[in-house]
Structure 1
């Protein structure tokens, strides 16, 4: 019995699953701890009223993030990149595991270049995180983000972003990228090549499709609060649902319709 458990724990597939789980857990723990942000993590389903009770000291700390400095840019970049790992690795894990199995089948290798594949994937989200961090600081400097929870002001920008995200969910570009994410076997067969460089390239390609699928969903963090763990969890579940569930395409379309209706109700002052 003990020997069987020991063999299972040494199995390459178990090591891959454990590594992905550890990576995701550490990313979530760092985000939950505040990711170095002066206001820390927030927990609000209704973020637009969350600033009301903040102290002037907390507000002043939040305003410090409006300064263009190497420290603020690097901190914001690190926060976004780790957040992308926390949100996207769970939905990408089945692709990683399928690549592991298919590589062994195709090349008989005991050590498939799994982590090179994962590295290529998260590099793409690192590039996205650069732009997201710059956007965050620019919006803060323009006084368009609430200083405590880093959410867009509700009256105009939030509904526009919601409507834009909803419309994008319905576009051919979104659905094309989603098809690639939902058909990992076809994707791997079409794009894979042997070796570490091939694995890294495959990770870059998969990350590019994933980015094309989800970039506007990620920008909804500006609506709910960049460090609002409730919104982060909701968007993580939305991404996983549309990629992994049997009816994921319908989930994607339903999300699009819901975002458009919610944004429209906010824009025109309709109570929902």
Structure 2
């Protein structure tokens, strides 16, 4: 198969096509938020997996990732649409963009397996030893803060903020399932960038809508704001402060409170 044409002005898509692509991703994200909010209202905030098996949890996790991550990945997806350019028909562009998004969400769904096991382990521990929740919260906030300030975060964040050179390199991929693999490859960088922020849902509650919205906003700002790297560092410092407070402030740990234990608000 011939290589994709170079990304130059002559290959760029009309504005209406790019607007349509943006609109589609926004609609998907909004629908995912609606489904997530409705499901969260039925389930509440509890420790562990809330009785869900792996298939149901991964389905819910996939919807959550679409809600939380699509707004921040949209610029990269649109850049890929521009790369596809005029070499594809409208239907083919839509299919290839869907394949890119599918590959990206596939990686985050695989990460959901790790999240499921972590939630199951912490949930069992909290039910057997309620006081352990404070130290789980301390550990999670500490790991998240250190990850925000670590070298892997910087490398992956630079890629997520400026992916053009990497996208250019994707032209060397073999054509079979290329768009899915490109999305998955970018998703791996995104997991490397954001896993620390995701694990704070363990103490805050995996179905805590306010926490999900806050994490999604942090990810969006980190990737798209001009001062995103500095903002990322500030978030890391805040997470370290929360780690110091977690053993003494139960209100920071709604996702680690046994269902029959009241939360003490300051």
Q: TM-score range by the shorter chain?
A: 0.7 to 0.9
Equivalent position of 1:24 in the other structure: 29
SS at match of 1:26: helix
Shift in Å at residue 18 of structure 1?
2.4
Say if 2:144 and 2:200, in contact at 8 Å, map to a contact too.
Answer: yes
Equivalent position of 1:264 in the other structure: 244
Shift in Å at residue 195 of structure 1?
4.5
| CA distance 1:65–1:224, change in 2 (3 Å) | closer
TM-score (norm 2): 0.77
Say if 1:177 and 1:213, in contact at 8 Å, map to a contact too.
Answer: yes
Once residues 215 and 115 of structure 1 are traced to their aligned partners in structure 2, the CA distance between those partners, rounded to angstroms, is 24
Residue 120 of structure 2 corresponds to residue 140 of structure 1: no
Once residues 101 and 48 of structure 2 are traced to their aligned partners in structure 1, the CA distance between those partners, rounded to angstroms, is 36
Equivalent position of 1:40 in the other structure: 43
Residue 65 of structure 2 corresponds to residue 65 of structure 1: no
Q: Which runs of 5+ in 2 are unaligned?
A: 1-14, 253-265
Once residues 139 and 268 of structure 1 are traced to their aligned partners in structure 2, the CA distance between those partners, rounded to angstroms, is 18
Instruction: Output one character per residue of 1:109-133: Cα deviation in whole Å (capped at 9) or x when no partner.
Output: 2343211111111110110112212
- What stretches of structure 1 move > 4 A for 4+ residues in a row? 144-147, 193-196
SS at match of 2:166: helix
Q: Which of 192, 203, 212 matches 1:223?
A: 203
* Root-mean-square deviation over aligned CA pairs: 3.1
Once residues 48 and 114 of structure 2 are traced to their aligned partners in structure 1, the CA distance between those partners, rounded to angstroms, is 20
| CA distance 1:137–1:169, change in 2 (3 Å) | same
Once residues 219 and 153 of structure 2 are traced to their aligned partners in structure 1, the CA distance between those partners, rounded to angstroms, is 12
Say if 2:137 and 2:203, in contact at 8 Å, map to a contact too.
Answer: yes
Equivalent position of 1:104 in the other structure: 85
| CA distance 1:172–1:205, change in 2 (3 Å) | same
Once residues 159 and 26 of structure 1 are traced to their aligned partners in structure 2, the CA distance between those partners, rounded to angstroms, is 34
Q: Which of 128, 135, 157 matches 1:156?
A: 135
Residue 21 of structure 2 corresponds to residue 12 of structure 1: no
| CA distance 1:161–1:14, change in 2 (3 Å) | same
Shift in Å at residue 11 of structure 1?
3.8
Equivalent position of 2:225 in the other structure: 245
| CA distance 1:126–1:195, change in 2 (3 Å) | same
Equivalent position of 2:66 in the other structure: 85
Once residues 236 and 13 of structure 1 are traced to their aligned partners in structure 2, the CA distance between those partners, rounded to angstroms, is 23
Aligned length: 233
Say if 2:138 and 2:243, in contact at 8 Å, map to a contact too.
Answer: yes
